[in-house]
């Protein structure tokens, strides 16, 4: 066993984490046969050379790469949970349950919405959703279809894999409640004509889901672990329930996803332990951030005041339009759009540099300007599998020339202390936690919080 660990340290890490079990049998010629069983997947076998063989230790790969070396299907779930979104049509039907179809048409027209368009895209969504469910069942995989209110811990624990039919929002919702590093989440964009679905499988997989599933079942894909942020909240309101930032949740309490979630946990424990109160209260928030976290005043027109510490550095008092902290996954989203430059900006900078240096820069060369713009913007994006966070101080308020903090950068640990009186901490644009004066938030990344996803090479 020790010899195997020396050659494949990644196997040892996976074994010690409780995510897999191994059976070792020495064969002829000192070759070991290793049977691997990962939670939620079928047992696998592979042949490894003995420790005395010439193996470069630096070539040891992650557990995902190790799994790709074994024979047979790399993905063999027995139970699949399909989380589906509510289409806009379904939302309107729920919102106006007392209206007939004709009355709904008139109501939508009065608001400037196109009923026929809503119904058209609803049909596309439901057709592709049914294709996913039926294909899974045809492959002998026990399948449950749930919406956001049926997306319970019990259903999640029952499933070997989570599929989502919707867009990135549905994927983020599914990911927020997954705490196991070994439960895959696979997104299917149910209407590629309406959105790109960066977190989902490529758009062509939607109508060709049977082929996509076949690729998954035959191992023609790669595992990807997307790192997520863990947030620890300290202060008087650390245990306050969050607010969901979706119109339907704010207007209709019976549809609140978090209310359903809290009710499940209360039913599970009829005598819940009282939460700590006061400034010493502290808890790790029950959701992980896959994209980004925003910290700032609830009213965007107000200046946000806070203290910021990066990787243990002394706290710096700052005023700005808020702070964003993102993962590698989120570096293509809000953070990217905050920090990206435009060709107009690049051209103007080159004009100024030409004047100040007396050097003639090709400021009218649009091809060069586009190239510079693209190169800078691409530098803002980083690997989703990296345990690294990127922070951005939005629109920093600078007095004089004493401002020394970098408006953006990378970090392993970030600490923010609030000096605001109506502020929020928002996770992935959906959950808003109270973050008022005296509250502290600590942002960290842990390997165990990574989300298991898949990607195709093409």
346-398 pLDDT, tens digit per residue, is: 999 999 999 999 998 898 999 999 999 999 999 999 999 999 999 999 999 97
pLDDT at residue 242, rounded to an integer: 86
Q: 233: number of CA atoms within 13 Å, CB side?
A: 26
Look up residue 168 and give its DSSP letter: H
Q: Is the pLDDT of residue 35 over 70?
A: no
Work out the pLDDT band at 68, boundaries 50, 70, 90.
very low
pLDDT at residue 273, rounded to an integer: 55
pLDDT at residue 26, rounded to an integer: 46
334-356 pLDDT, tens digit per residue, is: 999 999 999 999 999 999 999 99
Q: Is the pLDDT of residue 400 over 90?
A: no
Work out the pLDDT band at 446, boundaries 50, 70, 90.
very high
Mean pLDDT of 105-110: 94
Are the C-beta atoms of residues 222 and 64 closer than 8 Å to each other? yes
Average pLDDT of the residues of the chain: 81
Work out the pLDDT band at 98, boundaries 50, 70, 90.
very high
Q: Considering only CA atoms, which of 164, 155, 159, 154 is closest in space to residue 133?
A: 164
The length of the chain, given as a count of residues: 458
d(CA 26, CA 23): 10
Residue-by-residue DSSP string for 427-441: ETTTEEEE--TT-EE
pLDDT at residue 241, rounded to an integer: 85
Mean pLDDT of 93-99: 91
Q: Is the pLDDT of residue 275 over 50?
A: yes
**What kind and span of H or E run contains 444?**
strand 440-445
d(CA 394, CA 410): 15
Q: Is the pLDDT of residue 261 over 60?
A: no
Mean pLDDT of 96-113: 94
Mean pLDDT of 105-118: 94
134-153 pLDDT, tens digit per residue, is: 999 999 999 999 998 899 99
The answer to whether the Cα torsion of 51, 52, 58, 64 is positive or negative is: negative
pLDDT at residue 203, rounded to an integer: 93
pLDDT at residue 55, rounded to an integer: 31
174-230 pLDDT, tens digit per residue, is: 998 898 888 999 999 999 998 888 999 999 999 999 999 999 999 999 999 999 999
Please tell me whether the overall predicted TM-score, pTM, comes out greater than 0.85 for this model.
no
pLDDT at residue 243, rounded to an integer: 83
Q: Is the pLDDT of residue 239 over 70?
A: yes
pLDDT at residue 29, rounded to an integer: 45
Mean pLDDT of 12-41: 44
Are the C-beta atoms of residues 81 and 159 closer than 8 Å to each other? yes
pLDDT at residue 46, rounded to an integer: 35
pLDDT at residue 260, rounded to an integer: 45
More confident residue, 26 or 84: 84
Domains of the chain, start order: 2-68 (no CATH), 79-220 (3.40.50.10330), 229-239+275-340+380-450 (2.60.200.30), 342-372 (no CATH)
In Å, how far from its chain's centre is CA 112? 33
408-439 pLDDT, tens digit per residue, is: 999 999 999 999 999 999 999 888 999 999 99
Q: Is the pLDDT of residue 270 over 80?
A: no
């Amino acid at each position: 066993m020790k010899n195997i660990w020396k050659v494949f340290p990644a196997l040892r890490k996976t074994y010690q984490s409780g995510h897999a079990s191994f059976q070792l049998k020495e064969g002829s010629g000192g070759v070991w046969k290793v049977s691997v069983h990962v939670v939620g997947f079928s047992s696998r076998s592979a042949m490894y050379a003995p420790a005395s063989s010439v193996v470069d230790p630096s070539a040891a790969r992650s557990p995902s790469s190790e799994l790709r070396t074994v024979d047979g299907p790399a993905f063999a779930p027995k139970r699949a949970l399909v989380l589906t979104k509510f289409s806009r049509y379904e939302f309107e039907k729920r919102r106006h349950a007392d209206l007939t179809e004709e009355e709904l048409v008139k109501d939508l027209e009065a608001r400037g919405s196109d009923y026929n368009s809503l119904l058209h895209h609803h049909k596309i969504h439901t057709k592709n959703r049914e294709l996913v469910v039926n294909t899974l069942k045809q492959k002998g995989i026990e399948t449950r279809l749930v919406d956001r209110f049926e997306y319970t811990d019990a259903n999640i624990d029952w499933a070997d894999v989570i599929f989502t039919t919707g867009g990135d929002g549905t994927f983020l919702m599914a990911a927020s409640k997954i705490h196991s590093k070994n439960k895959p989440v696979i997104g299917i964009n149910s209407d590629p004509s309406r959105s790109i679905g960066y977190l989902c499988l490529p758009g062509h997989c939607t109508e060709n889901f049977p082929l996509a599933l076949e690729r998954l079942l035959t191992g023609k894909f790669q595992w990807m672990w997307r790192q997520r942020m863990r947030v620890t909240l300290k202060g008087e309101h650390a245990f306050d329930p969050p607010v969901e930032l979706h119109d339907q949740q704010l207007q209709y309490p019976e549809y609140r996803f978090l209310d359903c979630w809290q009710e499940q946990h209360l039913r599970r424990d009829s005598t819940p332990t009282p939460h700590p109160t006061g400034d010493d209260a502290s808890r790790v928030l029950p959701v992980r951030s896959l994209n980004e976290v925003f910290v700032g005043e609830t009213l965007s027109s107000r200046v946000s005041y806070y203290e910021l510490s990066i990787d243990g550095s002394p706290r710096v008092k700052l005023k700005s339009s808020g702070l964003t902290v993102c993962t590698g996954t989120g570096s293509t989203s809000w953070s990217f759009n905050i920090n990206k430059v435009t060709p107009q900006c690049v051209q103007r900078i080159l004009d100024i540099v030409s004047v100040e240096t007396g050097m003639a820069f090709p400021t009218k060369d649009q091809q060069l300007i586009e190239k510079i713009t693209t190169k800078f913007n691409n530098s803002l994006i980083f690997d989703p599998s990296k345990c690294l966070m990127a922070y951005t101080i939005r629109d920093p308020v600078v007095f004089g020339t004493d401002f020394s903090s970098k408006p953006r950068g990378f970090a392993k640990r970030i600490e923010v202390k609030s000096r605001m009186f109506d502020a929020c901490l928002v996770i992935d644009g959906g959950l808003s936690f109270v973050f008022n004066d005296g509250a502290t938030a600590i942002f960290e990344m842990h390997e165990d919080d990574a989300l298991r996803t898949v990607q195709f090479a093409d």
